[in-house]
Structure 1
Amino acid sequence: MAPLKAAILIVSTTAANDPSTDAAEAALRTVFDHDGGGRWDVTEAKIVADVTADIQRQILLWTDNADPVNLVLTTGGTGFAVADHTPEAVSVLLHKQAPGLVHAMLASSLAVTPFAMMSRPVAGVRNRSVVITLPGSPKGARENLQAVIKTLPHACQQAAGADSRSLHAGGTKKLEQDAGLGSPAQQQPPHTLTHHHHSHHAHHVCTHGHSHGHAPLVRHTQPLSNDPSLGPTRRQRASPYPMLPVSDALALIRQHTPSPAVTACKVSPSLTGLVLAEDVRAPEPVPAFRASIVDGYAVVVPPGGDMRGVYPVVTVSHAAPLGGGPDAGGGGGGGGGDDSRSTLKMGEIARITTGAPLPGGATSVIMVEDTRLVSMTEDEKEEKEVEILAQGVKEGENIREVGSDVEKGALILRKGERVSAVGGEVGLLASVGVREVKAYRPPVVGVLSTGDEIVEHDREGGLRLGEVRDTNRPGLIAAARDWGYEVVDLGIAKDQAGSLEEVLRDALRRVDLVITTGGVSMGELDLLKPTIERALGGTIHFGRVAMKPGKPTTFATVPVKNDAGERVPKVIFSLPGNPASALVTFHLFVLPSLRQMSGIDPPELPRVPVALAHDFPLDKARPEYHRAVVSVGTDGVLSATSTGGQRSSKVGSMKGANALLCMPSGAEPLRKGSKVEALLMGPLHSGV
C-alpha cells in the first residue's frame, strides 16, 4: 500500500522571520517515523506567520487540488493569546467535524495536567484531507499527535473515498488490531505529555460513521453561507469565506472549470474562433497535379537549355477540369486536343495558364513575356507558331510539383490550434479536401441580474425611489458576445430564495455557465451564496478576492444531470452588483473560464508591460485593476492612460477601456513612467 501523504504547517510569526527557531517540525517528523508504522510520507512543511489569510491559503493549496495530501497538521496559534488565530482560521475551511479526534487529544493531555483544558484543538475534513491543529510547543504537538496517529490512517482512507464496507470488514477488533491498538481500557496515555497545550482547530473533521452503502445520498460539504430561514438577526456579521489573492482565485478556476466538450464541425467560415480537438492531416496533396505557376508555354527543355527558336503550339491547358465536369480528368481541352492524354515532344510547345496541369512530358514553363507571336491559325482564333526568346532554361522552372505545397499525410493543423479570423486555417483545410474536423464546442453563457430594485434599462418612464436600471445584464451580454460566445438572456430575478432557485435550476439546464450580478455581499437579501450551497447542492470554491473592484466575486460549481443521466458540473460566477465591478471581474475571472471550456490555452487575457502616461493613485489596502487605454506610440512603447474616476459603481470607467492595469496597493501614487502589467481586453490604440 502506498504511503499516506502528510503536510506540516508551522504557524509562528517568530519562525516565519527566523526558521531556525522552530523545533515543532522535527518533533512531528519523529512521531511519524517512530509511531506511524511506516505508513506516512511527510511530503511538505511550510512556515507562515500568525495571519489568518496566510494559514488558510496554504491549507487550501494542499487540500484543494487534483492530488491532495491525506493529512494536514498545523502547529501553533491555538492558545488564548491575542495573536492565536489558528482554530478560527481552520474551522471555517472544514466540511466535516471530527469531535472524536479532539476528545482523544484532550483526554490524553488531561491525564497529565489540568491545564490541558486551556487547549483549543480543532479537527475535521476538507474535501479528501483530514486537518488537525496541534499546540505550538514541540512536546505538546508531539504528544497530541501520538494520541491519535494510529487511528489516522483509517480516518484518512475514509476521507479519501475508500469503501466503508471493505474498511470495516472484520469489525472493531480487527480495526484495533490493524492499527496496533488494544481496547480503550488497555491504552495508556503517551508517556511524555506536557501541560503546554495551546492549540487545535475546534470544528469539522471526519466522523467514524459505519456506513455500509445503504444510507441515502448525502452532500460532502457543509455550507458556509447564511441560512436565510434564520432571519437577519442570525446572519453572519463577517464573511466566512477566506480572502484569496487573485492568483489563487485564478488557480481554483483553472482547477474546477469543466473540461471542454468535443463536437464535429463542417469546414466552413463558421469554424472561426474554434479550437481544434484533434490533429489534422492532409488526405490529399496540394497541388494534386503538376501545375504551372505562370501564364506561358509548357516545353520540353533540350540539353543545354537553349530554347531560342520558333515552335508550333500543339495544345492548350487551362486551369479547369477536362470537360468542365467534377469527374473529368486534369487538364483543359481546346485548340490542340486532349492535353491530359497527349505527351509533349521535343520541339513542341503547349500554351498554359496559371494553375493549369502540365501536359505529359513537359519539363518546364516559359513565361509569356519571354515569347513572341509568329503566326495564327486561318480563323485567327488560335496561336499557330510562337517564337521563344529564352536561353539557359532549366528543368522544373515555373512548375509546382505534386505535393510541393502540402504533401499527402502531412500534419497541417495541431490539436489545440485556434482557427483564426484571418482565414488561413479554413483555407488550408479546404485546400486538402478536409470536410469535417473535431473541435471544442464553445460554452453557452447565461446572464442573470438579481435584486428587487433592478428594473429593465429600457422601461419607459422615470425611476421610482430605490429603483436602479439594469446596466449589468446588457453590458455583460455585449461583452460575452463580442468574445464569440452564444448568450442566453436570463432576465431579472427577485430577492426571493425559492424564486431565485427555480431561475437558476432552469438556467443550468439550458447553459454551461451562468453569470449573475448582485446578491453576493453580507445583506439579509444577498441570497446567491445560500441558494448555490443550500438549495442547489453546489460548491463555492471562493467567495471573496483581495482586489478592487470586485471583492465579493464568487465562483461555484453545481452538479447537474445531462441528457445521459450523468451528473456533470456547471459553473456559476456571481459577480458584484456594481457595474464597473461586474465588467472587470468578467474579464478577469469569467472570461478565462469560458476560454478554458473552449479549449484555449492559456485561457487568461494576454499581459503586456506598459508605461504609465501620468501619475496613478493607489488603493492603500487592496491591489486594483484600473481601467485604462493602452496606446502604442511612434517609438513602439506601450503607454497607459486612465479612463478617469474608478469608483466601482461608475460603469463609465469602462468606456473606451482596452486594458486593466494590475496596480499594487500602496500609500503613494505610482509616478508617470512607472512600468506595470496590463491585461489586454481589446486591440491597442495608435498613439501620436
Structure 2
Amino acid sequence: MADTTVSDTASATPDKDISGPILKNLLEKGQDTKTTFRVDATACIPDEFDKIQEIVKNWCDEKKLALVITTGGTGFGVRDLTPEAITPLLEKLSPGLTYAMISSSLKKTPFAALSRPVSGIRGKSIILTLPGSPKGAKENLEAVLSILPHAIELVSGGTGEKVHRNMREKSSDHESTKTVAHDSHQCLHHKNTYSSENHGSETLLSNSLSVPVTKRHRKSPYPAIAINDALKIVNDHLQNLETIEVPVNEKLIGYVLAQDVTAKENVPGYRASIVDGYAVVASDGPGVYPVTAISLATSSASTTSLQSGQITRITTGGCVPPGATAVVMVEDTTLVRTSADGENEELVEIHVQSREGSKIREVGSDIAIGETVGRRGELVSAMEGEIGILASSGIKSVHVFRHPVIGVLSTGNEVADHNEAIELKYGEIRDTNRPTLLSIIQSVGFEAKDFGISRDSPQELESKLRSALPEVDVLITTGGVSMGEMDLLKTILERSLGAKIHFGRVWLKPGLPTTFATIKLNEEQAREKLIFALPGNPVSAIVTFYVFVLPALRKMSGYTNWELPTVKVQLSNTIKLDPRPEFHRVIIHFDHETGNFKANSTGIQQSSRLLSLRGCNALLKLPAREDLLSELSKGTFVEAIVIGQLLDSSMIKNGV
C-alpha cells in the first residue's frame, strides 16, 4: 500500500509530518483484529491539484498498489483540493467506506461534518482520502481498517473467502504462510499477498502435511472462480511448442504447419489432356484427319510436333504434343478408317469446332512454382487433401509444431486397475478415468503416457509426480483435489514440488475442484510444465478435460482455432438449471425437417454416472439458475460444445 501526506507545510519540511507516520505505524502494527499491512511507498507533496493526481495515478496505474491513502486537503480551506483532484480519477465510488469514516469521527466531534473525504476504486486499487489532523486521520482509518482486506480481495477479482479464512486462522497457521513480493508489482500485504494479477496465488493455501486433520481447512481455501476466468488463466500459460520436421506421408496427419509452404514444382509439369480424345490444331476446325501418333499418360511421351491437318490420339493425363492447341473429346469424333489389320486408327472425323486451349491443363495451371500450398496454422488432416497437395508440388517434408506429450495419472486408495483380473474388494472401484482419458488423447492424435495409479500416500504420490513430470509437457491427474483427509494433491504439488497453483476450484458443474498448476523443474527448462488436476468422479474428469485440457493441447500444437467447435442446438427436453453453470451431456443431431440441430439429454447428470456420457457428442453450456430463470423449456436454443460425431435425423432413426 502507499501513504501520501498532502500539505504545503509538511512537503516543505517533511519531518513535521505527523499524520503520515501515525497511519504507517497503524497499518504495519494493526489493530486488535491482527489486521496488518505492508507499506510499500510514502510521500509528502504540496496542496497542488496536478501533483496530487500525478502521484496517485502513478501508484495505481504503474506500481499497481492495492491501497492508496492520502491524508490532508479534505477540509474547507482555500488550499484543500484533495477531493477535487481524486474524484476525477475514481472509476467507482465507495460511499459506504466514506460514510463509515465520517460517522466514526462524528461520534467524537461535530466538526467532523466539515471534512470532505472521498473514496473509491481505480483499476484494482482502492483510494481513501483521510483528514490531515493526526487524530482525525487515525480515527477514519481505524473505522475501515478491519474490512479493507476483504475489499481489496474483491477488487482484485477474488470472492472474499480467503480473507474470512485468514481472519479465522490462528497465528500458527500464519507462520507457515509464505509471502512473495515482485519488483514489477508492489501491493498491499495482509499476511497473504493481495495482488491484482495473481489473487494471492503466491500464497500457500493448501494444508500442511504436518497439520493434523483437526486443524485442517473445513472449507476450501481456494475461491471458486468463474469458468471464463479459469480459461483465461490457462490460456495465459499456453504457448506453441517448438517446431519439428516431418516427412509428407501419413505420419503428418494431425500436425499443424509452423510456416508457410510454397510449391517446388509446377502442377502439372507438362501440358496435360483433361479428357480422352484427340489433340488437334484448333484453327483446323471440323473435318477428317489422319491420326499420326498416340499420347498416353506415361513418362515416355512423344515430343514430335503436331502439324496443321494432323491429330494425335490422347488419353486423360496424357502429354499434349507441341503444336497442338486443343483437345477434342472422343465422344465428338467418328472413326473413319482403320489399318488393314484393324488394330490402329488411321482417319478420324472431328465434328466440333474447338477453342484454343480447350480441354488442356497448361503447365502450372493447378499449382505454380512458388505458390503457397500450405499456411502456418493449418491442420493437416486425413480427408481434406493437404498431403496430396504437398506431395504433388514437390514437397518432401514440412516444419510443424510438435505435439505435446501428455501423462495421465489416477490417484486413490480405492482405485483398482481395470485390467487386473481380480475381484474388487469392498470399497474398491475400477479405474475408468485413466483408460478413458488415454483413449481420448490418442484418438485426437496426441501422445499419451500412462503413469498408472498412485495410492493416497504423500511419499508415493510425490514419487509418481516426480517421475512423470520430466517425461511430459502436460500432466493430467484425477482425484485427490477435494476436501477429504487423503486429498493430498494440492499439498504435494505446492509444498513438496514447488508448483504454483493458479486456481483450485472453478464455479461449474460438474468439476468444482478442478485445479490448474504450473511448475519449472529447473532453471534450464525452456517452458513450464502444465498440470491439470481433475476431479475423481468420472464424468467430472471427462467434462473438465474437454472444457480445459483439450483446448489447451490444441493451442500448444499450433491450432489457429484451438477452442472446440460450438453449435446452436434446440432442446428436445425441458432442463432444470443448477446454481452453478453446467455442462449438460446431450446427443445432438441435425433435423432435416426443421433445419436445426436438436439436443436430447442423456438422462441423470450425476457426476459419477458414466452412462450420462454414453452416446454423448456435445456438452450444453447452461447458465446458472437465477430467481427468474430456474429451467430452460423444450424448444429453447442453447450453445453446445461439440465433442463427437454429429448425427442427422436419419442416423437417429436407424439407431446409429
* Residue 488 (structure 2) aligned to one of 523, 527, 535: 527
* Residue in structure 2 matched with residue 196 of structure 1 by the alignment: none
- State the distance in 2 between where 1:34 and 1:79 align: 20
Q: Name the TM-score, length of structure 1 as normaliser.
A: 0.69
1:36 aligns with 2:55: yes
- After superposition, the Cα gap between the structure-2 partners of 1:554 and 1:110, relative to the gap in structure 1 and judged at 3 Å, is farther
**Contact 1:371–1:386, Cα closer than 8 Å, also in 2:** no
- Counterpart code for 1:627: R
**Contact 2:507–2:580, Cα closer than 8 Å, also in 1:** yes
Count, aligned residues: 520
| Deviation digits for residues 368-413 of structure 1 (CA, Å, limit 9, x no counterpart) | 2222333344554433x12223242222111111111112211122
- Deviation, structure 1 residue 258: 3.4
Q: Which moved more, 1:590-599 or 1:530-539?
A: 530-539
- After superposition, the Cα gap between the structure-2 partners of 1:432 and 1:500, relative to the gap in structure 1 and judged at 3 Å, is same
* Residue in structure 2 matched with residue 466 of structure 1 by the alignment: 427
1:302-321 alignment to 2 at 5 Å? 302=283, 305-309=284-288, 311-321=289-299
- After superposition, the Cα gap between the structure-2 partners of 1:441 and 1:466, relative to the gap in structure 1 and judged at 3 Å, is same
- Counterpart code for 2:549: V
- After superposition, the Cα gap between the structure-2 partners of 1:159 and 1:306, relative to the gap in structure 1 and judged at 3 Å, is closer
- Counterpart code for 1:345: Q
- Counterpart code for 2:588: V
1:622 aligns with 2:580: yes
1:100-179 alignment to 2 at 5 Å? 112-113=137-138, 116-118=141-143, 119-120=145-146, 122=149, 158-160=183-185
- After superposition, the Cα gap between the structure-2 partners of 1:300 and 1:264, relative to the gap in structure 1 and judged at 3 Å, is same
* Residue 239 (structure 1) aligned to one of 220, 225, 229: 220
Structure 1, unaligned runs of 5 or more: 1-27, 46-71, 82-93, 95-104, 134-154, 162-199, 208-218, 323-330, 332-338
* Residue in structure 2 matched with residue 215 of structure 1 by the alignment: none
1:585 aligns with 2:566: no
1:597-636 alignment to 2 at 5 Å? 597-619=556-578, 621-635=579-593, 636=595
Q: Name the TM-score, length of structure 2 as normaliser.
A: 0.72
**Contact 2:63–2:185, Cα closer than 8 Å, also in 1:** no
**Contact 2:327–2:354, Cα closer than 8 Å, also in 1:** no
- Deviation, structure 1 residue 677: 1.1
* Residue in structure 2 matched with residue 226 of structure 1 by the alignment: 207
| Deviation digits for residues 503-534 of structure 1 (CA, Å, limit 9, x no counterpart) | 11211111111111100012221111111111
**Contact 1:296–1:351, Cα closer than 8 Å, also in 2:** yes
1:430 aligns with 2:391: yes
- After superposition, the Cα gap between the structure-2 partners of 1:258 and 1:235, relative to the gap in structure 1 and judged at 3 Å, is farther
- Counterpart code for 2:299: P
Q: Secondary structure at the match of 2:575?
A: coil
- State the distance in 2 between where 1:661 and 1:113 align: 54
- State the distance in 2 between where 1:80 and 1:156 align: 33
- After superposition, the Cα gap between the structure-2 partners of 1:35 and 1:236, relative to the gap in structure 1 and judged at 3 Å, is same
- State the distance in 2 between where 1:648 and 1:606 align: 23
**Contact 2:305–2:321, Cα closer than 8 Å, also in 1:** yes
* Residue in structure 2 matched with residue 640 of structure 1 by the alignment: 599
| Deviation digits for residues 336-363 of structure 1 (CA, Å, limit 9, x no counterpart) | xxx22x2111112222111111111111
- After superposition, the Cα gap between the structure-2 partners of 1:44 and 1:371, relative to the gap in structure 1 and judged at 3 Å, is farther
* Residue 397 (structure 1) aligned to one of 358, 370, 388: 358
* Residue 413 (structure 1) aligned to one of 340, 362, 374: 374
* Residue in structure 2 matched with residue 365 of structure 1 by the alignment: 327
- After superposition, the Cα gap between the structure-2 partners of 1:106 and 1:475, relative to the gap in structure 1 and judged at 3 Å, is farther
1:532-571 alignment to 2 at 5 Å? 532-561=493-522, 565-571=524-530
- After superposition, the Cα gap between the structure-2 partners of 1:124 and 1:567, relative to the gap in structure 1 and judged at 3 Å, is farther
* Residue in structure 2 matched with residue 191 of structure 1 by the alignment: none
- State the distance in 2 between where 1:156 and 1:235 align: 27
Structure 2, unaligned runs of 5 or more: 1-46, 65-90, 101-123, 125-129, 161-179
* Residue 313 (structure 2) aligned to one of 348, 351, 354: 351
- After superposition, the Cα gap between the structure-2 partners of 1:392 and 1:491, relative to the gap in structure 1 and judged at 3 Å, is same
- Deviation, structure 1 residue 206: 10
1:211-222 alignment to 2 at 5 Å? 221-222=202-203
- Counterpart code for 2:327: V
1:246-261 alignment to 2 at 5 Å? 246-261=227-242
- After superposition, the Cα gap between the structure-2 partners of 1:277 and 1:113, relative to the gap in structure 1 and judged at 3 Å, is closer
**Contact 2:408–2:450, Cα closer than 8 Å, also in 1:** yes
| Deviation digits for residues 627-669 of structure 1 (CA, Å, limit 9, x no counterpart) | 1111111222111111111111111111111111111222633
1:671 aligns with 2:633: yes
1:654 aligns with 2:613: yes
